Structure 1
Amino acid sequence: MSTKTKRYSAGKGLIWLFIFLALSLLPLLAAYSGDIPPKRTLLEELGVVLGFIGLGLFGIQFLFSGRIKQVAPSFGVDNIVQFHKEIGIVAIIFVLSHPILLLVADWEYISFYDPRENLPRAAALVFATFGMITLLYTSLWRVSTGLNYEWWRLIHGVLGFSLVFIGIVHSIQVGHYLNEFYKIAFFIIFFGSLIYLLVHTRLVRPYMAKKDPFIIKEILPQKDDCYTLRLEKKSTEPFRFLPGQFTWITISHTPFSLQQHPFSFSSSAEKGVLEITAKRIGDFTNTWKYLQPGQTAYLEGPFGSFTLKEKPCFLVMGGIGVTPGISFLKTLADRKDQRKCILIYGNERWKKIPFREELERLKNQINLELIHVLEKPDKDWDGEKGLIDEKLVTKYLPEDLNEFDYYICGPGQMMDNAELTFRKKGVDWRNIYAERFDFV
C-alpha cells in the first residue's frame, strides 16, 4: 500500500469552489433559461432567485455529507463538515427569505398557506417552514438542548430529504419558471441524483457493510476511562487504511442502526490488527466497558486526509486526541522509519495519560522527542505544566520550520493556540493538518 497521501492545495480548493458554485446555481440557471415569463416586481423576482439558490444549496448538502472520499483529500473531513454546517445555515436563510419577500411584495401569496385553497400544498409548505427552523435549531444547539446524537441524525436526514423533495414539487406545481418539459426533467434528474447520495450513505453502504462484518476480539482498558477495541475481519480480505485515518463504526446486530460514530484508528497501518480507542464521554462510548468479545461490528471507511506524509512530524495533541498520532508512531516503528518526530502531548495528570507506557516504548524504537504537558501536575513534576499555548509551542519548534509537517488534534482551544502559533511563526498552511471531530 502506498504511504503517500494527497496534500492540501489552493488549486484543488479553487476547483472544488467552482464545482460547488456551479452546481448550486444550476437550478436557478435552468429556471431562467428558455422561455422566460414576464418580469414581476423586484421583491418578487429577488424572492424567487433566493428560493432557487437556496434549493440548490440544500441539494448540494447531500454531496458534502455523503462521505465521498474524492472530496475529503482536498480539504479534510472536519473542514468539509464545518462547510456543510455553514452553507446549510445560508441555504435555510435563503429559502426562508423566499416566502417573506413574496409576502412583502404581495400579501395575496398568503393563499399558498391557506388549507381552504389547497390542503396538501398548505400542509407541505407549513411543514417545510417549521422543518427548516427545526433543522437550524437542532443543528446549532443540539448539545445544549440535550438532543441525543442518534435522534438528531435521524431528524437531520429525514428533514433534509423532505425539504428538498417539497421544494422540487413546489417549484414544478407553481410552474411560473418551470414552464417547459426539459426544465422539469432537469430538476427531477439533478435533485434525484443528489438525493441518491443520501440514500447511498444511509441504505446502500450499510447493506454492503452487512456482507463484510467485523468481530470484537478484545476490549482493552486504558488510562483516563478510555477503552481500545481490537477488531478482526470475518473475511480474509485485509482492511487497508493510512495512519491517521478514521472509520465509522456500528456495534449492533445490524449495520442499519442509527448508532454509527467516527473514530480514528490507534493501530499501525502495517499490521492486520485493527484498533480504535475512545474515552467514555457519550451514550455510545459509555457502553464500551460492557462489550463482550465476539460481538459484531460494522466498519465504513477508511476516511480522512489527516494522514502521515513524507516529512518529519511535529504533533500537538491533547488527551484522547492523540489516537491518530499513536497510529502514526506505531506505523513508523513497524516501517523502521527514523524520521524526526516531535510530540507535545497535553493531559490533566500523569496518572491519566492514555498510551503513556506505549509512548515510552516507542521512544526506544523511533526518533521521537516526547514532551508531556500536565495541567495539574504533582508537586515533584519537573516537566512542562499548564496549558499548551504559544510560548510552549514556540519553545519546541524546529529551526527548519517548513521541513516538517504539523498535526494538531485535541481540545478546541489547544488546537486554536497551536494553529495560530504555526501560522504566526511562518509555517506554510499547506503543511498544517488539524482534525476536529465536532460533527454537530
Structure 2
Amino acid sequence: MTSTMGFRHGRSRRMAAPPGSVAAALDSAQLVRRWLAGFAVLLLTPLLVRVMIGGPTWAQLVDLTGLFALSALVGTFVLVSRLRALSRATGITALLSAHRALGVLSAVSVLVHIAVVIAANPRNLALLGWVDAPPRARAAVGASLALAGVIALGVHRAKVRRDYELWRWAHLVLAVAAAMLSALHVLLIDDLVQDPVMQWVLAWLAAALVASLVHRWHGMATRSSEHVVREVRLESDSVCTVVLDPRGAPLQFAPGQFAWLRLSRRGTPDAEEHPFTIASSAESGACEFTVRSTGDFGTMLRRLTPGTPAWIDGPYGSCSVDLLPQPGAGAVMIASGVGITPMMSMLRTLADRRDRRPLLLVRGAREPGELFFRGELAHLATRLDLAVLEVVRRPPPGWTGAAGDVDAPLLQAVLPSAAHRAGVDCFVCGPPTFVERVARDLGDLGVPDHRLHTEQF
C-alpha cells in the first residue's frame, strides 16, 4: 500500500450527476431552512395561542412552560421518525445532536414549569407527592420521572448501549411514557382543552406525535426492501462484510449513506434492527455492509448463510459525494476503524464511474491488522487519482507508513495551503471522539463549514 503525505493535485473531470443526486433536488441549505421553520412553528405556535388567550400572569407562565416542554418532547419524536428528506438535509449526526438537544430542552422546561407552579402557589408543593396527589399531578410526576430516565440513558449511553437492544427498548418505552403521561396531564387539567383554538393546537401536537410513531414503526415495513444473503466475508476477527442481493429492484442510494438492517420481515418495535453504512458501490446493484461482528447481532450476521433473507430500510444520511450542492475540486476522506465503510462506498462508486477527481484517503488504526481493504485500496488507486495515507498508533517493527495519531500537524501536512483547504470536500467518519477531534482540527485549519462533512458510528 502506497503511503504519501501529499495530495495529488490535478484537473478534475466533472462527471454527469447520478440519478437521485442533489443536482435534481432542492439546495440543502434551502431544505434546512424549511425544516427549521417547521420546527419553529411546532415549538412556538402553542405559546402564541396561549398568550392570545390571556389570563393572570402566573397562570400564563405555568401554561407556557408546560406547553413548551410538551412541544419540545414531540419534536424529539419527529427528529427520529426516519424522514429521509430531513436526514438528507441535515445529516444524521446533526439530526441526533438536535434530538438530544431538544430532549434536554424539554427536561429543563419541565423543571422550570415545576418551579413556576410552586412559585405561583407554594401549597402546590404537595402536588409532587404521590399518595394524596390528584390524578393530574400523578401524571405529571410520572412524565417527569420518565423524561429523567430518558436523559439519564442519553448521558450514560456509552456504557448502557453495550447492549443496544436493551438501550433502545428502555429509551423508547420511557420516551413514549413521558409523552403519553404529559398528554394525560394536559387533559386532566382541563383548563386548556376548554379553549376552541387551543383544542386544535393540542390535537395538532397529538397528530404530529402519532404520525411520527406510525412513520417510524409501521413505515419501516412499507419502506423496507427484501434482500437475500449472497455471502459473508470475514475481514478480521471482529469485522465481517455481509453481501446482499435484492429480491426485486436494486436499492437506490448515494455512496456514503446508511440503512437499517434487520433479519425479520415484521415492521414492529420488537424486530431487532441496526443502522449500518452501505459499503458497496452505488453502481453495483448489490448492497454490502461491513460491520463489527461482536455482540449478539454482530455474531448473528457473521454466521449468516447464503440464501438467508434480510430487510433494509433506507437509505438515510447526507455524507456523500453525490449530495454536495457545490462539489469541490477533489475530496479528502479521513476515517478510523469501520468508519472506512462510507469512504469505500464512495471510492468504489467513483471508480465504477471512471471519475478522475483527485482523492486522498487518510485512515487511522491502532495496529496494521485493523487496516482491512488494503488490497482493494491498492487496486482502486490504479483506477482513481487516489493517494492513501495509513496512520498506525502502535506501529510494529518494520512499519513503513506513518505512526501516531490523525492529528492537527498531520492534517496540516496533507492540506498545506488555505486555497487547498477551501477547495476540497473533507469527509470524516469514525468513533464520536475521533470525528469531533478531527472536525475541530480541520475547522482550526480553516476548512469552511460547507466543505466539512461528518458521520459518527
Match of 2:338 in 1: 320
Match of 1:247 in 2: 259
Of the three residues 108, 122, 126, the one matched with 1:107 is 122
Match of 1:421 in 2: 441
How far apart, in 1, do the equivalents of 2:152 and 2:98 lie? 17
Of the three residues 77, 82, 87, the one matched with 1:62 is 77
Once the two structures are superposed, residues 359-381 of structure 1 have per-residue CA deviations (whole angstroms, 9 ceiling, x without a partner) of 11111111110111111112111
Of the three residues 257, 263, 266, the one matched with 2:276 is 263
The answer to whether the aligner puts 1:383 opposite 2:401 as a matched pair is yes
8 Å contact from structure 2 (residues 223, 313) kept in 1: no
What is the letter of the counterpart of residue 427 of structure 1?
Answer: V
TM-score, normalization by structure 1: 0.90
Once the two structures are superposed, residues 274-294 of structure 1 have per-residue CA deviations (whole angstroms, 9 ceiling, x without a partner) of 101011344322322222222
1:231 Cα offset (Å): 0.6
8 Å contact from structure 1 (residues 8, 75) kept in 2: no
Distance 1:3 1:348, change over 3 A: farther
Match of 1:354 in 2: 372
Once the two structures are superposed, residues 262-316 of structure 1 have per-residue CA deviations (whole angstroms, 9 ceiling, x without a partner) of 1111110011111010113443223222222222211101011001144311111
Deviates most, 164-173 or 267-276 = 164-173
How far apart, in 2, do the equivalents of 1:270 and 1:140 lie? 40
Match of 2:320 in 1: 307
How far apart, in 2, do the equivalents of 1:200 and 1:111 lie? 40
1:30 counterpart SS class: helix
Unmatched runs of 5 consecutive residues or more in structure 2 = 1-17
Match of 2:389 in 1: 371
1:390 Cα offset (Å): 0.7
Match of 1:409 in 2: 429
1:110 Cα offset (Å): 4.6
Distance 1:145 1:321, change over 3 A: closer
Match of 1:432 in 2: 452
Match of 2:235 in 1: 222
1:131 Cα offset (Å): 1.0
2:383 counterpart SS class: coil
1:52 Cα offset (Å): 1.0
1:24 counterpart SS class: helix
Match of 2:413 in 1: 395
The answer to whether the aligner puts 1:51 opposite 2:55 as a matched pair is no
Distance 1:222 1:106, change over 3 A: same
Distance 1:51 1:238, change over 3 A: same
Once the two structures are superposed, residues 197-251 of structure 1 have per-residue CA deviations (whole angstroms, 9 ceiling, x without a partner) of 1122112322553xx421112111003521000011222x221111001101112
The answer to whether the aligner puts 1:340 opposite 2:352 as a matched pair is no
Once the two structures are superposed, residues 10-29 of structure 1 have per-residue CA deviations (whole angstroms, 9 ceiling, x without a partner) of 66544433332221111222
1:51 Cα offset (Å): 1.0
1:260 Cα offset (Å): 1.3
Distance 1:143 1:91, change over 3 A: same
1:97 counterpart SS class: helix
Unmatched runs of 5 consecutive residues or more in structure 1 = none
The answer to whether the aligner puts 1:2 opposite 2:19 as a matched pair is yes
Once the two structures are superposed, residues 415-439 of structure 1 have per-residue CA deviations (whole angstroms, 9 ceiling, x without a partner) of 23432232222222101101012xx
How far apart, in 1, do the equivalents of 2:203 and 2:60 lie? 23
After superposition, residues 79-90 of structure 1 pair within 5 angstroms as 79-90=94-105
The one of the two structures with greater contact order (alpha-carbon pairs below 8 A, sep at least 6) is: 2
8 Å contact from structure 2 (residues 43, 68) kept in 1: yes
How far apart, in 2, do the equivalents of 1:7 and 1:383 lie? 43
How far apart, in 2, do the equivalents of 1:149 and 1:87 lie? 22
2:52 counterpart SS class: coil
Distance 1:91 1:380, change over 3 A: same
Once the two structures are superposed, residues 349-398 of structure 1 have per-residue CA deviations (whole angstroms, 9 ceiling, x without a partner) of 22331111111111111111011111111211122111111111111116
How far apart, in 2, do the equivalents of 1:414 and 1:145 lie? 20
Match of 2:10 in 1: none
1:331 Cα offset (Å): 0.6
Match of 1:295 in 2: 308
8 Å contact from structure 2 (residues 254, 320) kept in 1: yes
8 Å contact from structure 1 (residues 214, 296) kept in 2: yes
How far apart, in 1, do the equivalents of 2:265 and 2:208 lie? 30
Match of 2:13 in 1: none
Equivalent residue pairs, number: 430
After superposition, residues 32-47 of structure 1 pair within 5 angstroms as 32-34=51-53, 36-37=54-55, 39-41=56-58, 45-47=60-62
What is the letter of the counterpart of residue 39 of structure 2?
Answer: F
Match of 2:42 in 1: 23
1:100 Cα offset (Å): 3.2
1:8 Cα offset (Å): 8.0
How far apart, in 1, do the equivalents of 2:179 and 2:81 lie? 16
Deviates most, 156-165 or 328-337 = 156-165
The answer to whether the aligner puts 1:194 opposite 2:192 as a matched pair is no
Deviates most, 367-376 or 66-75 = 66-75
